[in-house]
Structures are given as structure tokens and as C-alpha cells.
Structure 1
């Protein structure tokens, strides 16, 4: 009996960069995975992890969706720096139904669309984007208080186990 190898297995997915600030500033409702339109030098720079997506966001323009505010730094082997636009709008590749869904959610329910992470998925560079709602200061404090309490709780239980 021959075992089949699946193309979409989990070992083919490698994270390039994660925008950790998104999870601190937003509640993520739903996550989408989309392709990103890149030039050759950009792919080489991404392979060396010379990219920054913190502070970038998603905009709609002419029935398409674009990544705005991300920076890809050129690598040193590229001689002509005139062709390297480090801050340009990069088109995201999604199905039409997904674009319409995201547009409606952002306009009607006032959700924000933010980039979460950049991954390699079997030699394709993909961007994970999330449908998000902003957190206020109270939400951030409550989350921090809960995390501190869990840490303290585990410390107390360790002490109890040592004495018994």
C-alpha cells in the first residue's frame, strides 16, 4: 500500500514575520490567508527576513485590496537602488467573494483589516490578514491582569505541591 503525500501538510508552512502588536491592539474575529504580488528583488529580501509589517494596514481601491505601509528593505546584492521602491502598495490576491465580504464588514460593522503574519507556504509567500476590532485601554489592562493572575496562580500551586 502506497502512502500519499499531501501538498498542504503543516510542515510546508514556515513563518517569516509575525506582527505581535496586532494581538495587543485588536480583537481578531476572523483570519484570511491571501497571496501577495511581489517583484523579484522583494522575494529575495523576504527570504532574508528584511521586511517590516508593523504599522501597516489594508486599504480598498478600485475593487481590489492592497497592503499599505509595509517596508521591504533591499538586500546588498541589488546594485541599482532606483528600481527598489521600499514602501509601495502591494496588491493582495483574494477571491472576489472574500474581497466583497471584507469590504462589507469594514464599512457596515466598522471592522479594521490588519496584517497578522507573513508565511512561506510551499514556496509561495502568503500574508495572513485578520478582521479586527480595536481594543480600548480597559480591555488591555484586564488582559494583563488576567495573565498576571494565572502566572501567580501557577506559582502558588507549585509551592503547595512542594510542601505536601
Structure 2
């Protein structure tokens, strides 16, 4: 087995980093049907409104939209169905420990292909308050102004 890992990002949830403080990330596999894999490979997925939940010691992702495959006809499934994430038991126990604490949630950050397999980057995150978001925007503005000012001088 080679040490090179070939990854291709299919979708990212940019809103997640804006709305949440990311504590930790975990890479998880995802259980898909045949036509869903083809849609994934075409990049026809949306992670914007999705979230993870632990149910009966299994982790599921809810709200992830996978567009139906055009040539799939009768084999296509519901685009918004819940999908099982593939994790080790110790990782699931760790997630349960975080989620039971107040304010933590499971948020998918990105979906990608890694050596031909579909993976989800799952984050343990805590929701931001409105003033936290304003503070981040102010910091980015200040950085932009500083960079603009420095580039004008040189």
C-alpha cells in the first residue's frame, strides 16, 4: 500500500465555521447506495443544513441533500434520507461524551473522496452567539484593512 493519499474535496460546509466553534474533527466513512455514490462523485451534494446525531450507539447524518443520479431511474433513493456514518465504537463513545455536555453538536465540515472511498469530516462544535460572529467579522475587516494598507505602501 502506498503512503500517498489521493483526496478530492466534493463539498464543504463553509457556514459551519461561521456559526460554530470547532473543538475537534473526526473522519468518518458513510454508508451509501450505488446511485448515491455516483452523485457524490459528481459533487451533487449539499452539507449546508446537515447535522449529526447519535441514535442507539450509531451515528447518523440528517439533512444532507444528495441529488438523485440522472441515469439511476428506479434505483434512486430519497435525497434527504438519514445516512449512517461509519465509526469505531471508541469514537462513538467519545462523541456521546461530548454531545451530552451542554451546547455541543455534530456538524459535517466537508465531504471528500480519499483513495476512492467517500469520507465525511465531522466536527464536534459549539454554537456561536451573535456577538462572537460580529467579533470574527471585525477581526477579518481589520486584517483586510491592514493588508490593503501594507500593499499600498510597497
TM-score clears 0.5: yes
Give 5+ residue unaligned stretches, structure 2: none
Q: How big is each residue's C-alpha offset from its partner over 1:30-54, in whole Å with a ceiling of 9 and x where there is no partner?
A: 0000000000000011111111111
After TM superposition, the structure 1 = structure 2 runs for residues 132-151 of structure 1, keeping only pairs within 5 Å, are 132-151=125-144
Report the count of equivalent residues: 154
Superposed CA deviations along residues 102-127 of structure 1, whole A, max 9, x for unmatched, are 01111024311111100100000000
Matches within 5 A, 1:16-27: 16-27=10-21
Q: Classify the secondary structure of the residue corresponding to 1:42.
A: helix
1:72 aligns with 2:66: yes
The structure 1 residue matched to 2:83, chosen from 63, 84, 90, is 90
Larger Cα-atom Rg: 1
Cα 1:40–1:148, aligned 2, differ >3 Å: closer, same or farther? same
1:77 is paired with a residue whose SS is: helix
* Higher alpha-carbon deviation: 83-92 or 111-120: 83-92
1:45 corresponds to = 39
Alignment check: 8 A CA contact 2:103 2:127 kept: no
Alignment partners' CA distance in 1, 2:95 and 2:81: 22
Q: Match of 1:108?
A: 101
Structure 1 residue 137: deviation in Å? 1.0
SS at the partner of 2:15?
Answer: helix
Unaligned 5+ runs, structure 1 = none
What TM-score does the superposition give when structure 2 sets the normalisation length? 0.94
Instruction: Please give the TM-score of this superposition, normalised by the length of structure 1.
Output: 0.89
Q: Does 1:126 align with 2:119?
A: yes
1:55-94 superposed Cα distances (whole Å, 9 cap, x missing partner): 111111111110111111112112226x522121111000
| 4+ aligned runs moved over 6 Å, structure 1 | none
RMSD: 1.5
Mapped partners of 2:11, 2:149: distance in 1: 35
Tell me, in whole angstroms, the C-alpha distance in 2 between the residues paired with 1:155 and 1:110: 38
